[in-house]
Every structure is written in C-alpha cells, then in structure tokens.
Structure 1
C-alpha cells in the first residue's frame, strides 16, 4: 500500500482534475499525456500510477456513490439534492460519461500502453497491468453487462469497438489474470517500487491479488455456470494459490488533488453533505448489536434546547431509503471520515480506496469451501472474515462476542444457508468502503434479503436497479452501440 504524494503520483493530480472536468477534460488529458501510436516512448513506471489512480476514481468515487446508495448503506440527505436521481433510480446516460472515460481512457488505455511498451526489462510492470486490466474489465462488465473488449483501447484509434457478451468478457478476465501471473514470475533487473501505489512493488502481494480476483470472478459465475466456476476454483486451489491477507488500497493525503476521490468531489461541490445513513443497514446493525455502526457513521451533534449546550446523540440517526422528502427537518447521521463520507471533516481526505479488503478475501474463500470447490475450514474462514472487519474498524475486542451472539452471524444449516450468512456478513463488512461490490454481490446472490425499494423509486412495481446505463458518449460516437438497456434488466450472471 502506498500513499499518494506529490513525488509518486503527479499523474494522479491530473486524473483527479479529470474527475471534476468530465469527459471533455478526459480527452484533453489523453492528448497531453499519452500517444497510443508510440509504444516505444511509453514508460511503464510513469504510466502505472495513472492506471491505479484511474481505477480508484471509479470504485472510490463514481461507483462508490452508486454502490453505497443502491447497496442501501447511504441515502440522499434531506437537506441537499445532488444524488436524488440515484435514489430515484432515474439514471441517464450522461451520468456515465465520466466513469466510462475513467475506465476506458484512464485505466485500460494506459494499461495497454504498459503492456505494449517497447521499453526493455519491464515484464513485471506488464504483469501488474494485465491484472489491473482484468480488474477494470470485471468492474465494467459487472456494471454495464456487454461491453467493448477486444477492439477497445487499441492503438489504431478505433472509435467504434464492437460490444462483446459478458460471458466472453469473463473468459478474457481469466486469461488476463493468467498472463499477468506469468509475467510476474519473470525476474526484472530494476524492480517495481514506489510507482506502485498499491503494494509498493511487492510482487508476492500482486500474485495474491490476482488469485483473489480470479476467485471473485469464478464465484460470480456460481449461479449462471456452476460447472465452470467449480472447475476454475478447483484448479486455482490445486495450483496452491495464495490469497490476499491484507487490504489492497490506495491511501491519500490532505493535499489538494491528492485527497480521497469522493471527498475531493465533495470539496468541489462546496463541502455539501449529500449522503446520510440509510435505515436499511443501520437497523440491521442495531438488530445484531453491531458496534461497527459507530465506526461507519458519525453520531449526530445537536444543541440542547434547554441548556443551549452542544450534545451528541448516542445512536446512529437514519432515514429509510429514499425518504428525503418526508424528513426535511430531521438530523441524520453522516458516513464517517473513516470511509471518506463526511464532507465537513478533512479526515475524510485520507480515507483509503479499497480495491479489495482482507475480510472480502476470507469471505470469498469461505464461500468456495462451503460450495465444495475450495479447501480449508469454512467456519474458520468465515469467523476470520468477520474478525478482520472488526479489526479494520477498531472493534477487534468485540468480534468474538458478535460471532457468538449476533442473529445474522449464525453459521448453520445447508450450503445455501451458509452462503447467505457469508454474503450477509460480507455486506456488513463492506459498509461505506466497497458499496459497488456489495451491491453486485446482492445482485448475484439475493443476499442480504432485507433490501427495500427506495421510497423515491421511479421504476414502478418492485423493480430495483440491476445494472448501469451505457454512457451517452457511446451512443453518440460508437456505431456499434447496442442501444439503451433499462437498468432493471439483469446482467448475464444475475440469474437468481
């Protein structure tokens, strides 16, 4: 893990600016900083921070907001309006232009430049680029479904890459991971070091990241193609794969432009507090007497009307999902600085973006074992996943009691009951940090089962958002654009 500083991520500053400028700014960035037709001059050590920072913009800002609202950790603040359309499930193509640009132009174009670089002795950089390419494509296809793949991010300037089926994209993800692992095995004279903001050039950690990504990707297929998922995971375990035992993060500073990307956006919006605690998850935390809620959210400060002195509530105040209009005068808890969600606290600036968490890795392993595809003790892995999350929130001493007493922590019953427990606990652990992944796992498994339709929904019936709309830029520039797909249409692997 590295911290973004002036020395090791000058390109990140440009990416941060791109996030506030939109797609036009992104095009300008590309014109200045990269030449897809000149791989001879593409220096992998200089491009890697841009790849990492770009994908952190996606999962730590745009999809952080969508995921945490659609994952029902957050809801729109009654006193503001920035994200009402997300709570309303009323998303337009224009809202996806920036994130599409960060995925394809910021992340994938620069990853391809590294992969195709003619600069000698850079195989390890290329290995990392392949792995981040796989990660970015999984994020993209899980969001949008069918996407440009084989004709995208090429040096030929093709503005109309064909769209390929999500099943094909997943096959490619596995191939990219394998290629990345093979390149990490090559000895490189000058090691990857400080330009890697995630693991500081530690290739063993990158191998663990790749294996954990492969496990996540195969489990995503558990319901749509169990045979393929089983075979892939069994082969992964047969290779003696090592999985992540720490968070894979980028950390930030309080220096302007080097801040947590969501906090940086809040600063750009005048530090308006646009998101607050959703009752969906807070009520579940309360039911389970879960102390982590006080780490994920801030208590409400108020003035005592009798003494005129400042006081703090001893609970987390929430509103039901999407009920901002009927709670205009209610004081509601905000996401905490720990997750980068408090607009008024500069501590939010240093909140990390988690590409993976150690607890997620353990929950993935637990599910693989429960399904009979992996080896190990499922109960131990499950308990370790919960414990790791409690450690991450500063509640390590409370983990054992929670595992013993919390209703949702019971690990009994058949395979499906245990999968439900695993995904529900993973959901709690991801609160505020990994909203997109939590929402994605809900789509795959249907867990947790206590999601509600937003009170502000415009979709009608009991429809819920199951995908993102394609970017408007695709509709206007790509002749292979497949047309709009309504957001309540499941993606390929979402069959449960």
Structure 2
C-alpha cells in the first residue's frame, strides 16, 4: 500500500494511447498555459490513473463480473476460469485488481491532488481527479466491502485502517460534489489529449459527475432509501450523459484492449464462451444485439447457425456446441479486432436506465417519463454498437415493453434491459446491479458450484496481500456474504 508513481510499463502504454487518440492535438496539450509548467507531471499522472482504472475494469473485474452476471462461462475445452465458474476462488485471485486500484490508481490520484492543491489554474485536473477517486473507491468498496479510505492519502502508513462501507460511500458522494463545484465548462485551461476519456471536454465531465452521483445514490436504494431520495432530488434539472464514457484502444504498439491483451498472453486460448442465461433470453426476444455481443455457432453441415450458450459451470461436459464472445467486447482471442474494443466507465444506456429508475421511484423529476427514458436506454445501447432493428425490437420484444404492473415490475424491466445493454462490456456493473436489485431474477447456480447450495457470489475476497501484510485487516469474508448495501 505504498505510493507508486508512474511506472515504466504505464509510460510505454501512455505514450502510445495518448498519441493514438489525440488526433490533431499535441501530446500533453494543456493549452500551453505557463501557470501549469511546474505541474507538468499531472499531465502524465492523469492518463496513468485512467489507464490503471480502465485495466482493472476491463480485465479482472470484467472477467469476474461477466461470468457472475452470466454473460460468459468457462469453455469446456480450456481451464483458466474454472474456479470462477464454480465459486471456488481464493484470496490470491484478487491481488491484481486490488493493486491496480490502490497502488496504481488511488496513489497517483492523491499525487495529482497534492500537486494541484491551491492552484486555481489546475482546477479542471483537480475535478477529474476527484471523479476518478470516487470511481476507484466505488469499484473497491462494491467489490470488497469495507476498504481502506481515510489513511490512503499518507504513503507513510503501510497498514491503513479499514473504513466501513457506509463511510466510504459518504466520501464518494463528497468527492463528486467537490468535483462538481470545481468544473468550469468554459475554463481556458483544461486537459487535452492527456484525458483518455473525454479529451478535456469539461461539459462531458459535468454530465459524468451528475450521472455517477445518480449511480452512487441509487446503490443505496435498498439500504438507505431516504438518503438516496434526498441526494437524487439535488439532481433535478441536471444534465446527464448522452454519450459513452470510455477509453478507446487499438491494435497499435501494445495498446490493445486489456482483456484481449491478456488473451494474447495466454496464447489466444479461448477461455470464455456464451452463457445460456443471456443467449437464451436474447434469442427468445429476438434481440439483434446478440449478433454483436456473440459470434454465431455454425457447424460444418450448415444445419446450425445461431447464438448458442451453455449452462454456467458445464465445463465438465463434452459439449462443443457454443458461441464465443465477439471482438466487439474484446473477448474473442481468435479475432484481432478484439484489440479495438473500448472499456466503458459508464455508458449512455446506463445513464438513461439510471434516470428511468429514479423517476419510477419518485426521486427524480424529469421532463421525460420513465417509460420514455427506458426506451431511450434501449436505443442508446443499440446505437453504441451500430445495431439495426431497434424499432422492431421496441415494438415486438417482450423484454422491451414497458410494464403497467407498478413500481417493482417497472424496476425489473429497467434492470433487465440494463443487464442486456451491459453484456460483456460492463460486466462488473451488471453483476453489482444484480446484487443490489435481485434482477435479473432468472440466474442459475453453476453446475460446478463448490458452495453446495443455491448461493451465488456476492463479493470479491480480500486479497492475500492484505490478509498477510496489513495488521489492520478486518478478517476473512466468504464469497457469499453480502456487502453493506446488498440487503436482500
């Protein structure tokens, strides 16, 4: 848990990714403001932070989330993720995401805040840093529960105390509010190509802040509904994301999607295949997104040409009939186009679904109905992947119909559509929303479960690095123990 500044591996990565997305902008362009000259390192720290979070989000958390959200399951012809499929993970499985979030991201975020403290010219960097801090801590606490928070700002503290999850969420919301107070959409000085997500567009960052605050408050819907309602009421009239907040990758210079990069390191072995849970649901609803998120299985006789999934944990069977995740979500090791798949921090579809739920609950006043926002979420999901047929889907798919059965039925419809939109591209968030709401309510227990009952994973385990080294480690948790906001 010591501060680790920009590492050589990140410098190599960032030199490629920043120049790759900058277009006509110069690398590290900050509008050539001399007031920022002494803070040049923030221009490297910011993309380092974003890349670290993107790597955690797009690789280990994407794999765990997408298997446990029942988008993917272990390929019967390989073995890399069998332990995930049978819920038999160990503490060593989580050293990487913990390190990525704490040593790689949160430590560098604090360095940005230290460098920009009291310097008004750096306010836009400070605002983005606070948003990344909120985002990183939400990932950490949603994954592990109680986590170190207040003592992480001091690198001299090598055994930071753990803070209760409720306190972590209070701080997350405070970080977002601090960012909102600093954002100036007309600021002359702001990041440029060193901002991997929005390239310094502060209007987009303000929308991100509002949308993320809505996400964080809705996470409290079951454990602290009055607090959630009061917080969401402050967002009445706010503008939310209408575009995906994401990092884009390419096949050039080792700048691949982080999941595909790992698959290359595993000699392109295809460990993930389509889960029957999502494939069957999409097929029943004639969802054209299925052909974007998965590749069709085609046999040599030409008698099968469809999206086919297998049951969770069926890797012990001899089946060879299944579809693979597509290159669009970076999960097909046999297709080099996987290198180009983005990592989504938040999507436009998610933004609309969050608003729809808040309106249904009576917590957000909007110029649109919940039904309209629900349909816009579906449209945004289709548009994000250039999928045709959204009008037909909205008119005929059972899952796309707005229910008239009251609040709970409407929340169920919203979350299931959110789950569909996040197929293979926001796996951790989809699994987290299932933990919060219980939807989708048709998940199946792995055929290979090691839990011996109907329990499903409800958290990540604390990493072995904390178990063995941090004297303030709060104790082992079981994979089926819910986190604080998961009250069902």
TM-score, length-scaled by structure 2: 0.90
Instruction: Please report the RMSD computed on the Cα atoms of aligned residues, expressed in angstroms.
Output: 1.8
Cα distance between partner residues in 2 of 1:380 and 1:349 = 35
Alignment CA distance shift 1:14-1:417 (3 Å): same
Gaps of 5+ in 2: 1-8, 17-37
Cα distance between partner residues in 2 of 1:12 and 1:363 = 37
Query: What secondary structure does 2:310 align onto?
Result: coil
Alpha-carbon shift at residue 342 of structure 1 (Å): 0.5
Alpha-carbon shift at residue 249 of structure 1 (Å): 0.5
Equivalent of residue 99 in structure 1, options 97, 100, 111: 97
Counterpart residue number, 2:109: 111
CA contact (8 A) 2:257 2:343 kept: yes
Query: What secondary structure does 2:325 align onto?
Result: coil
Q: Which has the larger displacement, 187-196 or 263-272? A: 187-196
Alignment CA distance shift 1:104-1:330 (3 Å): same
Counterpart residue number, 2:26: none
Counterpart residue number, 1:89: 87
Alpha-carbon shift at residue 191 of structure 1 (Å): 2.4
Counterpart residue number, 1:283: 280
Alignment CA distance shift 1:108-1:487 (3 Å): same
Alignment CA distance shift 1:141-1:312 (3 Å): farther
Alpha-carbon shift at residue 122 of structure 1 (Å): 1.4
Counterpart residue number, 1:357: 347
CA contact (8 A) 2:307 2:323 kept: yes
Cα distance between partner residues in 2 of 1:330 and 1:312 = 15
CA contact (8 A) 1:444 1:495 kept: yes
Alignment CA distance shift 1:253-1:137 (3 Å): same
Counterpart residue number, 1:400: 391
Counterpart residue number, 2:226: 227
Counterpart residue number, 1:131: 131
Counterpart residue number, 2:338: 348
Counterpart residue number, 1:451: 443
Alignment CA distance shift 1:202-1:118 (3 Å): closer
CA contact (8 A) 1:15 1:50 kept: no
Summarize the alignment of residues 236-251 of structure 1 with structure 2, pairs less than 5 Å apart. 236-237=235-236, 240-251=237-248
Alpha-carbon shift at residue 403 of structure 1 (Å): 1.9
Cα distance between partner residues in 2 of 1:81 and 1:445 = 31
Does 1:180 pair with 2:170?
A: no
Query: What secondary structure does 1:450 align onto?
Result: coil
Alpha-carbon shift at residue 256 of structure 1 (Å): 4.0
Counterpart residue number, 1:142: 142
Alpha-carbon shift at residue 181 of structure 1 (Å): 1.4
Gaps of 5+ in 1: 1-8, 17-39, 305-310
Does 1:366 pair with 2:366?
A: no
Q: Which has the larger displacement, 218-227 or 111-120? A: 111-120
Does 1:490 pair with 2:472?
A: no
Cα distance between partner residues in 2 of 1:199 and 1:473 = 34
TM-score, length-scaled by structure 1: 0.88
Alignment CA distance shift 1:180-1:247 (3 Å): same
Alignment CA distance shift 1:286-1:12 (3 Å): farther
Counterpart residue number, 1:205: 204
CA contact (8 A) 2:246 2:342 kept: yes
CA contact (8 A) 1:11 1:49 kept: no
CA contact (8 A) 1:316 1:333 kept: yes
CA contact (8 A) 2:185 2:201 kept: no
Alignment CA distance shift 1:15-1:233 (3 Å): farther
Query: What secondary structure does 2:436 align onto?
Result: helix
Cα distance between partner residues in 2 of 1:269 and 1:114 = 35
Summarize the alignment of residues 188-337 of structure 1 with structure 2, pairs less than 5 Å apart. 189-237=188-236, 240-304=237-301, 313-326=304-317, 328-337=318-327
Alpha-carbon shift at residue 286 of structure 1 (Å): 1.2
Query: What secondary structure does 1:124 align onto?
Result: helix
Deviations 1:203-228 (A, max 9, x none): 01001101100000000000101100
CA contact (8 A) 2:116 2:123 kept: no
CA contact (8 A) 1:297 1:335 kept: yes
Alpha-carbon shift at residue 330 of structure 1 (Å): 1.1
Deviations 1:351-383 (A, max 9, x none): 000001100000000001000011221111001
Cα distance between partner residues in 1 of 2:303 and 2:252 = 30
